[in-house]
Amino acid sequence: MVRILPRDVLRGRPTVTTSDVEDAHQKIAELFCRHDLVPQARGTSVDMKLRSLHRGDVGIEYLDYGAEVRINPEGLEDFHLVQIPLSGHALMQVGKDVVESSPKLATVPPVDRPFSMTWDAGTPHLIVYVRRLALASVAERLYGESPQGGVNLGYAMDLNGPLGRAFLRSVVELHDDMISEPGRAAPAFVQNLLADTMLSRLLMAMENRPAEDEGRNTNAESKLIRRFRELLDRHASEELAVPDMAENLGVSVRTLQMALRAEVGATPLELLRRVRLDRAREMLLEGEPGQESIVSIAERCGFSHQGRFSAMYLEAFGELPSETLRR
């Protein structure tokens, strides 16, 4: 897992500090949205530390209240947040759904409904800020269509899973470029690429994660991967090239390859071969020796070379096609 230390977040940037609850409330309201801020110990002040840096449609914040507080925002409306505890624990409640966050699990507040949060003392956060329209634009480019009703992220992100780790790495890359000294930052087109990569990783890590799973369902697949599997189920026996698959799904070849590598750990052709081999095995198990031929089954499953088919089959299942057919 990518390890981020509180002192490293926006290092060198000015730190806004205050112990006055009302002052802390006003500064955070100006940065994010209207909310209630209530220390949980009676008469307790805060020891807030805030660093903030925005560039274009994205931003990174470091926020530590220095005390246990309850926060009741009215809704984010035009931006998304990913809230990552760097230590300690926090809790977010949206209606009946509750997410307990930690350095292994980030919260993603809703943009269109009220929610409440309780941050324990000693729970500094790295907060990623993303404008809603910018994320929708990247989603359209990634999936080839505009998200119906906007992007629905769910409420939590597993930072231990491969997609969560990839998102964190993209945040660190963007962060490090944003805090570069004047004259040493990347060219504008690279800055845009870093931001788009981070937004793409966010979408891939969060797509279709139901709130009732509290963000812990690390096996959920994105819409793009499900559509890819459906494409293979329908056309696996046909001649399929990767550019044809990508065009059918309305994405670029690189987008398809990156999504499969991140979520499944395989290339498009590797998954195509798996589907074809599984289908051939089912047909061999159901077939009767003398009535079905291995050559015919191989051809119907998209394999034109008998020798290569037998070798791949042996590697996948530990036996030759003829042995399966004789069962």
Q: Write the burial class of residue 315 (CB in 10 Å: 0-12 exposed, 13-18 middle, 19+ buried).
A: exposed
From 158, 181, 213, give the residue that closes a domain: 213
Q: What is the pTM of this model?
A: 0.64
From 213, 233, 268, give the residue that closes a domain: 213
127 vs 303: which has the higher pLDDT? 127
pLDDT band at residue 219 using 50, 70 and 90 as cut-offs: very low
Number of domains in the chain: 2
From 178, 213, 248, give the residue that closes a domain: 213
Domain membership of residue 38 (yes or no) is yes
Both 254 and 137 in a single domain? Answer: no
The CATH number covering residue 207 comes to: 2.60.120.280
The CB-based long-range contact list for 89-98 (8 Å cut-off, 24+ gap) reads 89/120, 89/123, 90/117, 90/118, 90/119, 90/120, 90/123, 90/125, 91/117, 91/118, 92/116, 92/117, 92/155, 93/117, 94/155, 94/211, 97/155, 97/211, 97/212, 97/214, 98/214
Q: Write the burial class of residue 96 (CB in 10 Å: 0-12 exposed, 13-18 middle, 19+ buried).
A: exposed
Domain membership of residue 145 (yes or no) is yes
What pLDDT does residue 200 have? 92
Task: Find the domain containing 232 and state its range.
Answer: 223-327
What pLDDT does residue 327 have? 66
Both 154 and 23 in a single domain? Answer: yes
The CATH number covering residue 250 comes to: 1.10.10.60
| Mean predicted confidence (pLDDT) in 80-100 | 92
Both 197 and 235 in a single domain? Answer: no
| Mean predicted confidence (pLDDT) in 54-69 | 96
75 vs 87: which has the higher pLDDT? 87
| Mean predicted confidence (pLDDT) in 184-193 | 86
CA 144 distance to own-chain centroid: 18
What pLDDT does residue 38 have? 92
pLDDT band at residue 217 using 50, 70 and 90 as cut-offs: very low
Residue 124 in this model has a pLDDT that exceeds 90 = yes
Residue 150 in this model has a pLDDT that exceeds 70 = no
| Mean predicted confidence (pLDDT) in 213-228 | 59
Both 181 and 240 in a single domain? Answer: no
Lowest mean pLDDT among 76-80, 142-146, 207-211, 307-311: 207-211
